[in-house]
Structures are given as structure tokens and as C-alpha cells.
Structure 1
Amino acid sequence: MDSSLLGQRIGLQIRSMRLNRGHTQAELAQLAGTTRQKLIEIEQGSLSVSMNAYARVFAALGTEVKLVPVSMPTLDDVEDLFNE
């Protein structure tokens, strides 16, 4: 997956969580200890923002990152697991 696409997807999810919790950008930025401009960059999926800034926003939203595969394995991929 292209890294810029990944950044955009994370940014959209952060924006969605912020809106679902009823926060403005300014409110969430204050909770996260960052600037509104930095939050705007995060919501736009900027790859130049530090992981620390993302982590502070995740913490302010009361959420965590969970990595999931882009696609599920096929039967051929897991076949050897059942042959042992």
C-alpha cells in the first residue's frame, strides 16, 4: 500500500473519531497538547508529522492503533498449517 494513501486513511479515521466525539479541531488539539495546524496536517494525512504527534492525538481520543492485514490470506496461504 502506498504510504501517502495510508496517511490519508489514518487522517480520515482521526477526523471521523473527532467529529463523533463532538470535538472541534481546536478542542482536540488542546487535549492532545498540539496546535490546531498540526492537527489539520494529521487529518490531511501528512507524512511529515511526527509519530509522537499522532500518538498524542490517539491518546486524546482515547483510542489506539491496531494493525490489520490489507487482505486476508487465501486457502493456499494457510494450507500448510493444516497439513502438520
Structure 2
Amino acid sequence: MDPALLSQRIGNQVRSMRLSRGHTQAQLAQLAGTTRQKLIEIEHGSLSVAMNAYARVFAALGSEVKLVPVSMPTLEEVGDLFNE
């Protein structure tokens, strides 16, 4: 699987979890001990964000990483790769 697509999927899940918990980006960043800019990068699927930042955000959301077999990307996900 393409790393950019994987990173984008993780970012989308982080954003979805943040919104479902009613947090703003600033609130979640504060809970995670990181900057709002770093959280924005995570939510946008930036490949340059360190794993430590992801781990802090996951912990602040009360979540963990679970590896699952790769699924085919949706048409929207494929289209988003060309819009960047």
C-alpha cells in the first residue's frame, strides 16, 4: 500500500475521532502535549510527522493502533492523492 494513502487514512481517522469526542484541534493538541500545527499535519496525512507525535495524539484520544490487512482504497481516497 502507498505510504501516502496509509498516512491519509490515519489522519482521517484521527480527525473523525477528534470530532466525535467534541474536541477542537487546539484542545486535542493541548491534551496530547503537541502543537495545533502538528495535529493539522497528522490530520492531513503528512509523511514527515514523527511517530512520537502520533503516539501522543492516539493516547490523548484514548485509542491504540491495530494492524489489519490492507483494503482497497476508495475512489475518493485515490482521487485525493491526485489533488495534493
Query: Shorter-chain-normalised TM-score: which range?
Result: 0.7 to 0.9
Cα distance in structure 1, aligned partners of 2:36 and 2:24? 9
Count of residue correspondences:
71
2:82 is aligned to none
Cα distance in structure 1, aligned partners of 2:55 and 2:47? 14
Once the 2 structures are TM-superposed, how far is the Cα of residue 19 of structure 1 from its aligned partner? 0.1
Tell whether 2:29 aligns with 1:29: yes
| 1:20 maps to amino acid | S
2:75 is aligned to none
Please list every run of at least 4 consecutive aligned residues from structure 1 whose deviation after the TM superposition is greater than 6 angstroms.
none
Once the 2 structures are TM-superposed, how far is the Cα of residue 7 of structure 1 from its aligned partner? 0.3
1:11 is aligned to 11
Seq. identity, %: 86
Cα distance in structure 2, aligned partners of 1:61 and 1:37? 17
RMSD between aligned residues: 0.6
Q: TM-score, normalised by structure 2?
A: 0.83
Runs of at least 5 residues in structure 1 that lack an aligned partner in the other structure: 72-84
1:76 is aligned to none
Q: Relative contact order (alpha carbons < 8 A, sep ≥ 6): 1 or 2 greater?
A: 2
Q: TM-score, normalised by structure 1?
A: 0.83
Larger Rg: 1
Cα distance in structure 1, aligned partners of 2:36 and 2:28? 8
